[in-house]
Structure 1
Amino acid sequence: MSLVTLLPFIVLIGAMFLMTRSAKKKQQAAAQMRNDMQPGTGVRTIGGMYATVKEIQEDTVLLEVAPGVHAVYAKNSIGAVLDDAEYNRIVHGDDEHESDGTIVPDDASSLIADEPADADDDVAKIDLGKKAEDAAPKDTEVTGAETKDAKADGEGDAK
């Protein structure tokens, strides 16, 4: 066999090796993150639930999902271990970086006036009807090219 025939197979095997190596590194990093969990840290499960770690066993972890509500999860179901600031920001709404103190209302009721304004006072009336000059056909001179187009469209005189 020639080298040209073997080259695609060599490239394919090399690519598979690199992908497998990358996946193994990610798995090892996730396992290390799960092993570094301590009771009291905030976590996010792979399902998107935020909770606090209460106890850690060999393959399971006891999470407090709400005050006084505990659930047992597999260690593999922990998607991320969060630092305290991020966990408090997400779960409790604590924001260290308050912007300019602007308060956004929960509903649109505060955005409208209490008393309805008279519509005739502030709104200019818009006439959506045709103007008289647009409705009547204009008298224009027809050139030869326009006559050909009109006959092609079936608008010519039927004799």
Structure 2
Amino acid sequence: MSLLTLLPFIVLIGAMFLMTRSAKKKQQQAVEMRNQMQPGSGVRTIGGMYATVKEVNEDTVLVDAGPGVELLFAKNSIGAVLTDDEYNRIVHGVEHDLKSDADLVPDDASSLTETDDSAADAGADDKAVDLGKKDTADEPADDAPAGEAKPAGGEAKTDEEPKKTDGDSEAK
């Protein structure tokens, strides 16, 4: 019985152990990455600035952020050491021709939509639908002069809206 009461605590301690272990592993990988920095490497700081390493000291890194701009950072503030290809792609906009021209995505979606000619052909068969409300001045007057016949059935026309049908309107 005492084992069942201790089981939740054992599971909790095990979960905490696994979480701290993975955090330590990530921290160790970050330390190794920072130790592999060499002058000439491209880096990204934790603030998002891209620069080239000029000098690596025990706790600091001197980086070149642009022409005549040298900055001294703590080693811990380096977020990532980038490969030469990745650094050149991000900072200088240099792309490698790894993809063929067929794999390129166009800048706009015009090539993905239908052309104007095909849209006009498709719309030629459709009638224009007037969705506006009818003006009461356009409708014929309900009061016919005494000599003229009234609408069929002898009833005067009323201002009722026409019935809308959706197919099975009684089922709703």
Cα shift at 1:129: 3.2
1:99-150 deviations in Å (ceiling 9; x for gaps): 6488859xxxxxxxxxxxxxxxxxxx996631369x942477xxxxxxxxxx
Give runs of aligned pairs for residues 32-111 of structure 1, distance below 5 A: 32-97=32-97, 100=101
CA distance in 2 between partners of 1:57 and 1:40 (Å): 14
Residues 82 and 139 (structure 1), Cα distance of their counterparts in 2 relative to 1, 3 Å cut: closer
Letter in 1 for 2:53: V
> Does 2:140 match 1:137?
no
Task: Please give the secondary structure, in 1, of the residue aligned with 2:23.
Answer: helix
Task: Please give the secondary structure, in 2, of the residue aligned with 1:54.
Answer: strand
Aligned to 1:26: 26
Unaligned runs of 5+ in 1: 106-124, 141-159
Unaligned runs of 5+ in 2: 109-127, 140-158, 164-172
Residues 126 and 6 (structure 1), Cα distance of their counterparts in 2 relative to 1, 3 Å cut: same
Moved over 2 A (4+): 97-105, 125-129
CA distance in 1 between partners of 2:106 and 2:70 (Å): 35
Aligned to 2:14: 14
Cα shift at 1:96: 1.3
Aligned to 2:124: none
Root-mean-square deviation (CA, aligned residues, Å) is 2.9
Cα shift at 1:19: 0.5
Aligned length: 120
Residues 19 and 67 (structure 1), Cα distance of their counterparts in 2 relative to 1, 3 Å cut: same
> What is the TM-score when the length of structure 1 is the normalising length?
0.66
Letter in 2 for 1:48: G
